[in-house]
């Protein structure tokens, strides 16, 4: 197995352990969410503080009112939210690549190859131990004479973390910004001596952008929930299939000695 076969095998393992819903979620997050944030939200909020006009000449009053109006920039908040949501998926990919790299190095080592040769010549059937971190079932990969580990448990853990991060940022988004961008904002924080009215630039467009980001966040959470249900169902089906396969192999091993004795008697 050369380097290209090893890389292809790693990609095959990752592709096998990620569901179709997970692939749709990844495309949605990268191609739509990040593109909207960089190419639509950034130009919209780039000059927000400059266009935050307050009807006062008191030095520092406009800055204090703007800080009270938006403690965190919408653009930075959405960027941190997207990268944080992608973090569990990235950790899952690193974990899969690390586990499979160790298995490939073990397969390439000389003692392991000698063991495989002795095992092939002896003809004895031995049960294979699951790799570290791999949960349960394996599917044979005849091209490389290796097994594809099932990382479904690790995948479900990262789904739970992803949903938790999405929910926490959704709650934080509501308490920081709400649902609408007001046309004007009144504050009386020092050094303002009286209530000062400040006016926000392009409030309608920013409200539409906030609703769009809210919709993407909700759809992302829904996809993660569906993906979790689909992953749990697939894990149960694989476990049941492997259990039936192991029971069938056990019956075959019990029947083979009696069949051999019958052949010798004839």
Range of weakest confidence among 118-132, 142-156, 223-237: 118-132
Residue 212: CB atoms within 10 Å: 14
The CA R_g of the chain, rounded to the nearest whole Å, is 29
Does a structural domain hold residue 167? yes
- Whether the CA torsion 77, 78, 80, 84 is positive or negative: it is positive
Q: In this structure, are residues 103 and 131 in contact, taking their beta carbons and an 8 Å threshold?
A: yes
Q: What are phi and psi of 169, to 5 degrees?
A: -70, -30
Three-class SS state of 62: helix
Bridge partners (DSSP) listed for residue 141: 146
Structural domain total, the chain: 1
Which candidate, 98, 233, 84, places its Cα nearest to that of 156? 233
CA atoms within 13 Å, Cβ hemisphere of 103: 24
Residue-wise pLDDT for 130-184, tens only, equals 444 444 444 444 434 456 777 888 999 999 999 999 999 999 999 888 888 888 8
Residue-wise pLDDT for 45-66, tens only, equals 888 888 888 888 888 888 899 8
Does a structural domain hold residue 264? no
Does a structural domain hold residue 54? yes
Structural domain for 113, as ranges: 3-120+129-247
Does a structural domain hold residue 258? no
Three-class SS state of 133: coil
Does a structural domain hold residue 256? no
Does a structural domain hold residue 175? yes
CATH code of the domain containing 213 = 1.20.1440.80
Is this structure's pTM higher than 0.95? no
- Whether the CA torsion 57, 61, 67, 70 is positive or negative: it is negative
């Amino acid at each position: 197995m050369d380097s290209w076969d090893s890389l292809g095998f790693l990609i095959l393992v990752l592709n096998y352990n990620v569901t179709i819903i997970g692939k749709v979620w990844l495309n949605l997050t990268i191609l739509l969410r990040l593109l909207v944030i960089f190419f639509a939200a950034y130009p919209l909020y780039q000059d927000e503080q400059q266009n935050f006009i307050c009807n006062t000449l008191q030095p520092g009053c406009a800055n204090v009112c703007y800080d009270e109006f938006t403690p965190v920039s919408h653009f930075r908040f959405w960027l941190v939210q997207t990268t944080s949501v992608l973090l569990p998926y990235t950790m899952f990919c690193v974990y899969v690549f690390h586990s499979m790299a160790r298995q490939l190095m073990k397969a390439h080592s000389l003692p392991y190859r000698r063991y495989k040769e002795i095992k092939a010549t002896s003809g004895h059937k031995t049960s294979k131990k699951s790799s570290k971190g791999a949960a349960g079932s394996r599917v044979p990969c005849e091209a490389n004479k290796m097994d594809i580990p099932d990382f479904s448990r690790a995948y479900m853990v990262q789904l739970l973390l992803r949903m938790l991060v999405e929910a926490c940022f959704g709650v934080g988004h509501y308490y920081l910004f709400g649902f609408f961008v007001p046309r004007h904002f009144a504050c009386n924080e020092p050094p303002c001596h009286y209530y000062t009215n400040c006016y926000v630039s392009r409030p309608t467009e920013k409200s539409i952008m906030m609703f769009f980001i809210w919709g993407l966040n909700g759809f992302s959470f829904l996809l993660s929930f569906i993906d979790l249900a689909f992953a749990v169902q697939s894990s149960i089906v694989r476990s049941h299939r492997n259990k039936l396969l192991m029971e069938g192999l056990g019956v075959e091993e019990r029947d083979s000695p009696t069949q051999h004795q019958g052949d010798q008697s004839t």
